[in-house]
Structure 1
Amino acid sequence: MASRAASAHPNKKYAIGLARAFGGAIIFGLPNLMTMEMWFLGFYLDRTRLVLFLLVNFAILVGLSRFSGFEETASVKEDLLDALAAYGVGVIASAATLAVFGILLPGMSLGEIVGKIAVQSVPASFGAIIARRQMGDKTDGEKDDEHDVAERRGAYGWQLFLMVAGALFLAFNLAPTEEMILIGFKMSPWHGIALVLLSVLILHAFVYGVGFAGQEQPPEGSGFWRLLISYTIAGYGIALLVSLYVLWTFGRLDGADLTQIASITGVLAFPSAVGAAIARLVV
């Protein structure tokens, strides 16, 4: 009886983690699930670019599993299983919600249905993988895990990875909108310079300056300039690269000249920089 109860406990814990994951998937995915531009994106998006983006998203989920999964992981295999579970939750939650909204209809082609679900599963899977840390209770069994996570977060490479994850999430939510192109068109070069400076300032302040819960502690012996260059400027560089990649994925740069590309990328890099900072605070 004792061994049976012991084996049932991990299963129950994992089931609770899955339930939280569905909650996280709905919360993070809902803004996109109720956005018309995202519905059409699944229909016309180039399939090669979509598949590549899904692979990138899955790699991000594997990495996030080391910080927040359905259970504590200690190997790449366990991280892969956690990422598969999170992606599965994202797919199921997205498909069910789109069906209830009447967005998925029997007369649609299989390609359109799969495309719409695939696009929506990206933010939903992100919400699923971080649900345990954001929605779970802090039990005694998780205290050691918190210590391990803190050690991982202290590594420079992992901090940059978290910036990539946060930038990708927010960039994904905004890149398909027409407003990114409109704002870039309306801005002057001076507006662009001001936006870059504002992005860098906000990124640095969110992570090190204003005392948010979960705010990073500066590495021992790090002065202002080292933090600015190694973390803030590097983080903004990540935001720019992620923005450029996401815009290319969604075809927003097709036919644009270098000036337009720079302008649109700079606009999207603003929320991407915010996402890079927030990810380090909440994951």
Structure 2
Amino acid sequence: MAKTASKSLWAKEGRDLIRGSAAGLIFGTPLLYTMEMWWHGLTFSSARMVLLLAAVLLINTVICLFLGFRARYDLLSAAMEAVESVALAFIIAVSILFLIGEIDFGSSLAEILGKCLTQAVVISLGIAIANAKFPCDDDEEQSNQKSKESSKQDSKQEPASSLEARSPEQAQLLADLKDVGAGLAGATLFAFNVAPTEEVIKIASRLDSIQLGLLFIAEIGICYIILFASGFWQREVHTPDSQFQKPWAETLLCSAFSFAVAGVLIGLVGYHEQVGTWDAWIRSTIVLGLPAVTGGAAGRLAL
């Protein structure tokens, strides 16, 4: 019994951290592609970094006291959660900056701390408000009950002839089209801000094939984390036996549409003189895929 309770506790802890990471990525991804943020971190003295860290912890403590990514509301728990939020944000910043080649094993500790701390500020705020935007497990039952009641009301308002005429396949197709539309909108919103910038070309030109492959895999993994592992996306499946409704299929579909958006934006608003070859275009598309995939997954959550 004790082992079962311990496993359940660790499982819940893991879900909380995954949910916080997903929210942090949604909020912080655009800034991870900003050169000014990279360079600004290099100008920080040790004292300034300590002051920034203290300010971030204080702000996160206040936010976690009322929101947070767990259902805790006392001061001590909020302070502990704020520390976790900043630490998790720092890990995310290190991971992404390493994937895009902004830091590497040859980077000095001061460079890593400066660059990642500035990025961790916004990411940590996203983590801290995860519970407000996306209810945690404690609120899930209540949320599901409200969703069911809302569905019943909608069903009552909808004409009976419409319900009878729509088969499960048709209802699923309509839901899938809505998901695709929301994903395309989210991917465009996130990627359009980054596509015209020099950062995309800079990152694409310095990554080798292995690094690009790792970035590509990470982008698909991030899509899965936001949509499914985090538990954010609550949806009604009308055809549960269909393979296209499985998490792996939904993840690949969302990623594919997001990469398509990234490729189109590179062609339309990217640096044309530097993406004139297929190789450069593909590399730039993969690089822009991170904000596009994050936005595509976030767009589906908005429905």
Normalised TM-score (structure 1): 0.46
Question: Over alpha carbons, which structure has the higher Rg?
Answer: 2
